[in-house]
Structure 1
């Protein structure tokens, strides 16, 4: 297998100076996960990456991208010296994209970027080899890192692009130069940095600025801001709308959300199509419709793409479901966990609550004869001046009628807790650690439980506490 980067190639790409004649088979920014033979990139984040270069080389790194020779590192160590490490990484990404012969898909959206990227990885993988980041690497260093890691012989690459502030998406999209770009949805998220939902739509639509000539601009056509996306798509390439409104070339005619799957009846260019997603949630069926639009733009076999959608499942913290067995002897004593703890905004939380509402608890197996639908919800961050109303408004969602108890974490979720009917109001805690300490008293065999909140709220602690119930008899004290 040929090297990902040789010293000469990397030096030419970055305008830097290579020390030694080395080659690397990967690119890493983290010494905790670096593999032998990879290039370590000494980015400055919470700490200066130069402090970890010696450790990276000791772990077998093939080279390091640096702006100076760090203390404790030999002057003849395999290094690539550049003026600025972030710029060097970006230049590697640009050079990698320039030599790539496959087709590139870029994805953005307020909700569903990462799950759609993973769905695309699975579906495009049925048609050829795919490169995509293993994590949600979608920011100013994540996109160039994903590109710099891209093997030159892949058939497809999927690049996830995100933002927190205006002006972030266009430069990353121009770096990725996609043949197809997709916006999943525009919803209230990062409102603290934008004046309005329209502003978010314009920023998301900036992904089309990077389209290759003749490229396809795919967007959700069901939104209040869809006309903004349509105009931006039309200006940049070939516009394609998907969604549930009649008239879209990719029309989602009917969605049936079950306990474990979602079945979609659709029309693609007027022809009927039926597909199944192996996870409950209307939003998954919608994003799958967008994925099929991507496959159509790439002129891939529709039947094979539809089949491949059925092979995808969400990753940890993004709606993955698991059954926790509470008793080693009485194995029917279980709790079903929906782990959606990675992130949250009003749209994604609404979608997750719909999934919980559709779930089927088990009855007559626990202390409480009736199995329950229970939610642990943490603050949604970066919502701006309307954050209190947006949290309280969750109480009015139709799905709440089928949810038995809601436990709330954080000062913003206090607004939801106060807006809930008393019979649905669970515990409120300032922090996830305090909430996690009481889950064994909250839950019983037969329950279905959802955990969701912004990443900084640490709902993963609640998830871990629920999983640990499987190591103790049901009904034990927390």
Structure 2
């Protein structure tokens, strides 16, 4: 089996000097993630220095390291390890003939990336590669690129941003053949004085890195579609829109509920029609699936494989995974884990679907505050109350200081039988929900990642509450 990297190739890519010959089959910059045969990159940050963990990395099985100061053990000496990571990413991208897809958007990035990977890995017989977890920032993207084997057939990379000009740099590293914007929503809106229009401009930066003749894939039903199209046309050889409304190039023409959850979809792709099942529930997943089909076709993948992948997709931790737990009090309950992140659009979509969930017991939600909304935070948190009221919940636990605005509005409209509490943190929310859960209940947990609501999910799943 060919090594992912040799010391000679790393030295050439980074303009570094090798202390000894070695090979590496993986790459990491977190010493806690190092496994046997990995390359460790000792990054320096404002509050950390990877050089302090080189010894730990070697003890965990690293075969070599990229460092900016000499260390014991095989290493590549460079002047700047962050620049070396970018250089390694560029070298990885340059040595492959893979078809590359870039994915961004205010919501749906990770799920879309995972579904694309499942579809393209299936039709390439294991030769697809993608960014893991949510490694989508200025260090996560180059790390994901540097992990890509040279013989990869398809590469799928998630790219995120919370300021203008971030995606511009990332997409020029990735150089996608197809680039998707899933949706535009007021995520990180506090960092954009021009509101959603500014977010749309920043997301459209993904098209700047497109390969010549590449394909831009944009949400047709978005009010920002004309703005996105204008930017896309400057860089793309082809612009494909997806959505539910007439005029979309890839359009859902029929959607019905699938037995056991999910959706049965009939889509029109130009002069083609495709019927498929989506295991994940909600219209937002139908929308994502249309972008997925457009991208698979754009890079020459197999649409039948894409349909099978969508039918077999299971929820992702923090983004819709369902847990069926045994309760200490007896009986069973269902947890829908959406704890990874939240913004006004994803909250609305999730609560709308929650309203349609069948439930033998109570419907309970733990909702955490939404971050980076700036001066509009009070407005968006208050508006969330309307979506909660329409969801048909029996109990709601709000978490975080900004949820005071939600609580104030909820108090005006809650039915007398609906319970509401306001917790400061995830631990308090766990205490509250443990008092409420009973046989047949369904619990939705969603909030911004900084609140750590995933810890409450883990405690409930493990029974340690």
Select the residue among 441, 457, 465 that pairs with 1:447. Answer: 441
* 1:468 to partner: Cα distance: 4.4
Matched, 1:182 2:180: yes
- 2:457 is matched with which residue? 463
Question: 2:323–2:461: 8 Å Cα contact kept in structure 1?
Answer: no
User: How far apart are the structure 2 equivalents of 1:359 and 1:399?
Assistant: 15
Paired residue total: 455
* 1:270 to partner: Cα distance: 4.0
Question: 2:352–2:391: 8 Å Cα contact kept in structure 1?
Answer: no
User: How far apart are the structure 2 equivalents of 1:99 and 1:465?
Assistant: 44
Q: TM-score, normalised by structure 2?
A: 0.94
Question: 1:342–1:452: 8 Å Cα contact kept in structure 2?
Answer: yes
Matched, 1:415 2:413: no
The DSSP-based 3-state class of the residue aligned with 1:437 is helix
- 2:365 is matched with which residue? 375
Question: 2:365–2:397: 8 Å Cα contact kept in structure 1?
Answer: yes
* 1:125 to partner: Cα distance: 1.4
Question: 1:354–1:399: 8 Å Cα contact kept in structure 2?
Answer: no
* 1:327 to partner: Cα distance: 6.2
Q: Alpha carbons of 1:14 and 1:289: their partners in 2 closer, same or farther (altered >3 Å)?
A: same
Q: Which moved more, 1:3-12 or 1:448-457?
A: 3-12
The DSSP-based 3-state class of the residue aligned with 1:310 is helix
The runs of 5 or more residues in structure 2 that have no matched partner are none
Select the residue among 159, 162, 167 that pairs with 2:160. Answer: 162
**Equivalences for 1:102-113 in 2 at 5 Å?**
102-113=98-109
Question: 1:201–1:225: 8 Å Cα contact kept in structure 2?
Answer: yes
Matched, 1:93 2:63: no
* 1:127 to partner: Cα distance: 1.2
User: How far apart are the structure 2 equivalents of 1:349 and 1:270?
Assistant: 35
* 1:54 to partner: Cα distance: 1.0
Question: 2:180–2:217: 8 Å Cα contact kept in structure 1?
Answer: yes
* 1:14 to partner: Cα distance: 0.7
**Equivalences for 1:10-409 in 2 at 5 Å?**
10-45=10-45, 46-69=47-70, 73-74=71-72, 77-128=73-124, 129-195=127-193, 196-237=195-236, 238-257=238-257, 260-326=261-327, 333-362=331-360, 371-397=361-387, 400-409=390-399
User: How far apart are the structure 1 equivalents of 2:328 and 2:275?
Assistant: 40
Question: 2:266–2:273: 8 Å Cα contact kept in structure 1?
Answer: yes
1:104-148 alpha-carbon deviations (Å, 9 max, x no partner)? 110000101111110111111121111112211000000100011
Q: TM-score, normalised by structure 1?
A: 0.92
Q: Which moved more, 1:174-183 or 1:267-276?
A: 267-276
* 1:414 to partner: Cα distance: 1.5
User: How far apart are the structure 2 equivalents of 1:244 and 1:403?
Assistant: 28
User: How far apart are the structure 2 equivalents of 1:425 and 1:419?
Assistant: 14
Q: Which moved more, 1:52-61 or 1:198-207?
A: 52-61
User: How far apart are the structure 2 equivalents of 1:284 and 1:399?
Assistant: 23
- 1:474 is matched with which residue? none
* 1:425 to partner: Cα distance: 4.6
1:64-112 alpha-carbon deviations (Å, 9 max, x no partner)? 111112xxx42xx211111111100000000000001111110000101
User: How far apart are the structure 2 equivalents of 1:347 and 1:117?
Assistant: 19
User: How far apart are the structure 2 equivalents of 1:406 and 1:327?
Assistant: 21
Question: 2:233–2:239: 8 Å Cα contact kept in structure 1?
Answer: yes
User: How far apart are the structure 1 equivalents of 2:256 and 2:55?
Assistant: 55
User: How far apart are the structure 1 equivalents of 2:117 and 2:365?
Assistant: 30
User: How far apart are the structure 2 equivalents of 1:304 and 1:191?
Assistant: 37
Question: 1:391–1:412: 8 Å Cα contact kept in structure 2?
Answer: yes
Q: CA RMSD in A?
A: 1.7
User: How far apart are the structure 1 equivalents of 2:39 and 2:391?
Assistant: 53
User: How far apart are the structure 1 equivalents of 2:44 and 2:344?
Assistant: 33
Q: Alpha carbons of 1:35 and 1:455: their partners in 2 closer, same or farther (altered >3 Å)?
A: same
User: How far apart are the structure 1 equivalents of 2:419 and 2:452?
Assistant: 21
* 1:247 to partner: Cα distance: 1.3
* 1:401 to partner: Cα distance: 4.3
Q: Which moved more, 1:87-96 or 1:442-451?
A: 442-451
* 1:38 to partner: Cα distance: 0.7
Q: Alpha carbons of 1:100 and 1:399: their partners in 2 closer, same or farther (altered >3 Å)?
A: farther
Q: Which moved more, 1:317-326 or 1:97-106?
A: 317-326
User: How far apart are the structure 2 equivalents of 1:463 and 1:305?
Assistant: 30
- 1:365 is matched with which residue? none
* 1:458 to partner: Cα distance: 1.2
Q: Which moved more, 1:296-305 or 1:387-396?
A: 296-305
The DSSP-based 3-state class of the residue aligned with 2:32 is coil
Q: Alpha carbons of 1:302 and 1:461: their partners in 2 closer, same or farther (altered >3 Å)?
A: closer
User: How far apart are the structure 2 equivalents of 1:316 and 1:399?
Assistant: 26
